[in-house]
Amino acid sequence: MKKVVKFGGSSLADANQFEKVRDIILADNSRVYVVPSAPGKRFDNDIKITDLLYESYNLAAAGKNFYEPFQIIRDRYNAIIQGLGLKNSLAHEFDNIEEHLLNNPERDYLASRGEYLNGLIMSEYLNFEFIDAKDVIFFNEAGEYDDVKTNSILSARLENIEHAVIPGFYGSDHNGKIKTFSRGGSDITGAIVASAIKAGVYENWTDVSGLLMADPHIVSSPAVISSITYRELRELAYMGASVMHEDAIFPVKKAGIPINIKNTNHPDDPGTWIVRNTARTSKYTITGITGKKDFCSIIIAKDLMHSHTDFYRKVVQCFEESNIPLEHLPSGIDTMTVIVQENKFIECEQKVLGRITQLVEPESLEVESGISLIAVVGRGMKSQSGTAAKIFTALANAHVNVRMIDQGASELNIIVGVRNEDFERAVRSIYHIFVDSGK
């Protein structure tokens, strides 16, 4: 069984972190392909190499002097090389990048150098072959990731290579030019490599011991999620939980490869398993809670609404015409509620409301802003009675007024709408009722 191991920026921020990474890789000989990010922050106010590269690019593109940030970048890499006692210097690579900056700077090329240089260092340090991501990861003419071309070239390339380092975050476009994924994109590279070689596991190493059940800014020391399905993760990520790069899920999900989120600083912690499905029940009925503020609800009432079979379609059309995605559509007998993101709605509010009035002639049309949506997610909910009752008991005890409830038929989540000012209190109360009661 082969593992692909991706290390995030904080796991590679200095020589000391590189040493931890090497120990992790050498501790398990199935860890054969390594995907590094660029060096990240060493401490709170530190600057990531990728940000320094973007800054250098911005200055160079404006014809300004870029030496200050560029020198910081050089110094950081040189300190890593020295700290690890490596022989090869990157002086020549820096000259090339500097020349590029002076002549015809390209944003993606510059940004990709953080991973590229870290990949070179890592490959020397581990004595693993270096494979430039530009030769194995491709984007099509539309600028989208080309999975067919990438899979065939990457899997053929890795077939006879036992150990390799493949830098994260970039590939090349149809003209052979460097192109990056969006920020945090090394997660995607790791997933792509894992799926190309049909890895047994994709290990994603970071600086936390797994995904947390709730936002630590809201709930103090939330529990770690030990296992979560891709679908649950999607629900949590969509509603605001910050996990891996969202696009990193698709390649491994398609190939059925489990992801294990691990902590470079505490490698023995089990971390979080992200899997297609699992017979493991989680310790608590819920897997996680997350949420977002600033939604609007538009409540449309009309007597005998259900006898107008085109009612829903017409309402949906009014939002479609203004390109506003619908988040939820909870309904009553003679009312229909549409929940949308406030910032998307407000710009074309009058147009949408005018169209609803014209098309469905409602008896009343109310708008309420400042709504937060909380998603309580858990595969365990469908086999457990009383979950909703527990949520509403928690909210009632915390004196939170519930503005909306939506439970998907899949019973994977329950969405609750509350006022923005009640949001944090509501999340805490739900978390505590499930976690402190141990269920």
Q: Which two tokens stand for residue 427?
A: 């999340």
Terminal alpha carbon distance of the chain: 35
Taking CB atoms, the residue at the shortest distance from ligand ASP is 186
Beta-strand ranges (E) seen in 197-327 are 201-206, 227-229, 259-263, 272-275, 288-301
Q: Which stretch binds ligand ASP (CB under 6 A): 10-18, 74-82, 184-192, 219-227?
A: 184-192
Per CB under 6 A, does 48 bind ligand ASP? yes
> What is the Cα Rg of the chain in Å?
25
Min dist CB 188 to ligand ASP, Å, is: 8
Least Å distance, CB 381 to ligand ASP, is 33
Q: Does 11 bind ligand ASP (CB under 6 A)?
A: no
Question: In this structure, how many other beta carbons lie within 10 angstroms of the beta carbon of residue 293?
Answer: 17
Residues in contact with 422: Cβ distance below 8 Å, sequence separation at least 6, in sequence order:
372, 398, 400, 401
Q: Does residue 36 touch ligand ASP according to CB under 6 A? A: no
Round to whole Å and give the CA distance between 33 and 25.
Answer: 9
What x/- string results for residues 163 through 182 when contact with ligand ASP is judged by CB under 6 A? -----xx-------------
Q: Which residue from 183, 254, 266, 280 is in contact with ligand ASP, where contact means CB under 6 A? A: 183
Out of 186, 206, 227, 282, name the contact with ligand ASP by CB under 6 A: 186
Residue with smaller CB distance to ligand ASP, 54 or 392: 54
List of E strands, 302-433 = 335-341, 364-377, 402-407, 413-419
Count Cα atoms within 13 angstroms, Cβ side, for 177. 11
Min. distance of Cβ 270 from ligand ASP in angstroms? Answer: 23
Length in residues, the chain? 439
Cα gap 236→280, rounded to integer Å: 19
| Exposed e or buried b per residue across 37-54, where buried means at least 16 C-beta atoms within 10 angstroms of its C-beta | bbbbebeeeeebbbbbbb
| Sheet with 364-377: strands ordered across | 335-341, 288-301, 364-377, 413-419, 402-407
Q: Is 185 in the site for ligand ASP (CB under 6 A)?
A: yes
Single out the segment in contact with ligand ASP by CB under 6 A; choices: 183-191, 192-200, 213-221, 372-380: 183-191
Site for ligand ASP in 103-132 (CB under 6 A): 114
- Part in contact with ligand ASP (CB under 6 A); list of ranges 66-74, 153-161, 185-193, 248-256: 185-193
By CB under 6 A, name the one of 13, 25, 35, 38 that touches ligand ASP: 38
State which of residues 3, 4, 5, 9 lies at the interface with ligand ASP (CB under 6 A). 9
- Least distance to ligand ASP from the beta carbon of 147, Å? 19
Least distance (Å) between residue 165 CB and ligand ASP: 15
Q: Which residues bind ligand ASP (CB under 6 A)?
A: 9, 37-38, 48, 50, 114, 168-169, 183-187
